[in-house]
Structure 1
C-alpha cells in the first residue's frame, strides 16, 4: 500500500496530480490510498493527531508552497522540526523557482514547477518507489520524538496493549514499545510475511512452529491465541503459504 497526500488549493492541479498517480499505480499494480487537502491548516490538524507521530503513515506528500494562511513551507517545517519526521517524502509544487533555497532546510525530495507535467510526476514516483522498496527491510517508528528502526527479519510478532504496541524480536535488547495501533502497523508490513491472528497480535509467519484451530506456537515457545473472527482467514492464509 502506498499512502500519498496532496495539499493544493487549485482544484485543477490537485485533480491532475491525483489522476496521474492513479493511472501510474494502476499500471504498476500498486495499491494506493490518496488523501486530498485544499488548505495547509487542514493538513496541519490531520498531522497533529495524537496517534499520528508513531510512524510515517504518509509515504509521499505533494504540497504547494503558496497555500494561504499556513503555507507549504510552514507545513514542511512542522513535519521536520516539530514531528521530527524524516520519513515523509515531501514534493513541493510552486509557480516560481525562487522558493528553492528556502526549502533546503526542509529536505524535500523534489521541487516541481507549474504547469506540472505528467512525465515529471511519474519520474518522482519512480524514484521514490525505488528508494522505498530498497529500504523496506526495516520497521520504522518513533518514541518520544526520536526515530528508531528494527530489521523486519528480527521481528517475531507485534502485540497491542492499550494505546501501545510491543515489538517482540529474536534479540531481547531490540524489544521495544511505542504508541500506536496494530491496524496501522499492518498497513506498512508485507501481508505475505505478517498475519493478523487477533486484534492484538500481528505475527511473522516464518516464526510459527505449531498451529492449531485456535492458537499458534512461536519459536519463543509463546502461545498466541487466534480470535474466532480470524480463524478462517488465518487457516486459509497458512494453507496458501505452505503450498507456495
Structure 2
C-alpha cells in the first residue's frame, strides 16, 4: 500500500488532483491537507510515501512545510513534488529541499498520472530493497554487538529499564537504550510504538484482543510472548494491522 499526501489550500484544486490520482486504480491511499499544520498532523499519524505540496498555503508556504518534513528522520529522502504557478521558486526547492519534481498549475491530468505511476513503482522497489537489506546494530548487555535484520524484529519491550528485542529466532537484552532511540535507529514503516513500554512489528501481529477499556493484548506469529496496545497508539497500530490482513 502506497500513501500519498496532497497539500493544497484551494479546495477545488485539491479535489481535482485527488480525483486524478484516485482514478489510477493502483493500491494506494490518498490523504488531504489544506495547511502546514494539518499536513504535519497527518504525516505524524500515518507514514507517507510521497507528497504533492502547493507552494502557496494558508498562513505558510509549501517550502516551509517541506523544510519541516526534511527535519523528520524517516522523511529525509521521501519524494516531494511541488505544485506551483511560481516557476522561480523551483531552483531553490531543488537545491535546498531536494524535491523530486514540480507540476505547473493548472494541473495536466496526463502529467499527474504519469508522474504518480512512476513514483508508485519506485516506492514498491524501494520498499522491497529496504526489506531485504536493512539492518540495525544493538549493543547488548553482555558487551557484544549484534547485527539484526530489521524485518526479523517482532517486538521490543522495556521492563524496569531493561530493553528486550524479540526476533523470530531469539531474544536479546539491549544496553542503555530508550524506545524512542530504538525506533529512530530501526526507521521502518511497519515497526511502531504500541504502548509506553512496547514497540511492535505490525507484520507479525496475528491477533488483537481487548482486555480492558483502554488496553489491548497483541499476539504474534513465532513468539509466545505478548505485547500491549494502549489507547494512545491504537489507531496507528490498527490501521497497519488491517493493511496486512
- The TM-score with structure 2 as length reference comes to 0.60
Match of 1:91 among 57, 63, 81: 81
- SS of the equivalent of 1:3 reads strand
Q: Provide the secondary structure at the position in 1 that maps to 2:14.
A: helix
Q: Give the secondary-structure state (helix, strand or coil) at the position aligned to 1:73.
A: helix
The correspondence of residues 152-167 of structure 1 with structure 2, limited to 5 A, is 155-159=151-155, 161=157, 166=165
Matching of residue 115 in structure 1 with residue 106 in structure 2: yes
- Give CA deviations for 1:86-145 in whole Å, capped at 9, x if unaligned: 243211100121111110221112111011111111111121122112122325799xxx
The offset of 1:37, in angstroms, is: 1.0
Alpha-carbon spacing, 1:169–1:185, altered in 2? closer, same or farther (3 Å): closer
Residue 11 to residue 101, structure 1, CA distance change in 2 (3 Å): same
The separation in 1 between residues aligned to 2:60 and 2:149, in whole angstroms, is 37
1:68 to 47, 58, 70: 58
- Counterpart position of 2:177: none
Change (3 A) 1:93 1:202: farther
Runs of 5+ unmatched residues, structure 2: 137-147, 175-180, 185-191, 209-216, 229-245
* Cα distance in 2 for residues equivalent to 1:60 and 1:46: 13
Count of aligned pairs between the two proteins: 182
SS in 1 for 2:19: helix
Q: Which one of 177, 191, 196 corresponds to residue 206 of structure 2? A: 196
**1:65 and 1:184 mapped to 2: Cα distance?**
36
Check if 1:100 corresponds to 2:90. Answer: yes
| Residue 226 of structure 1, CA deviation | 11
When the two chains are superposed, the root-mean-square deviation of aligned CA atoms in Å is: 3.7
1:15 Cα shift?
A: 0.7
Deviation string 1:186-243 (CA, Å, 9 cap, x unpaired) is 3xx5xxxx4534553554xxxxxxxxxxxxxx4xxx535699xxxxxxxxxxxxxxxx
1:125 alignment counterpart: 116
Partner of 1:12: 12
Matches within 5 A, 1:20-99: 20-24=20-24, 26=25, 28=26, 30=27, 32-47=28-43, 49=44, 57-80=47-70, 82-84=71-73, 85-99=75-89
Describe the SS at the equivalent of 1:102. Answer: helix
Secondary structure at the counterpart of residue 5 of structure 2: strand
Asked if structure 1 preserves the Cα contact closer than 8 Å seen for 2:6 and 2:53, the reply is yes
CA distance in 2, matches of 1:58, 1:6: 10
The DSSP-based 3-state class of the residue aligned with 2:57 is coil
Q: Where do 1:129-148 residues align within 5 Å?
A: 129-137=120-128, 138-139=130-131
Aligned residue for 1:116, secondary structure, equals coil
Match in the other structure for 1:3: 3
Distance 1:67 1:226, change over 3 A: closer
Unpaired runs of 5+ in structure 1?
A: 143-149, 204-217, 228-244
Give, in whole Å, the separation in 2 of the partners of 1:38 and 1:132.
24
8 Å CA contact retained: 1:159, 1:201: no
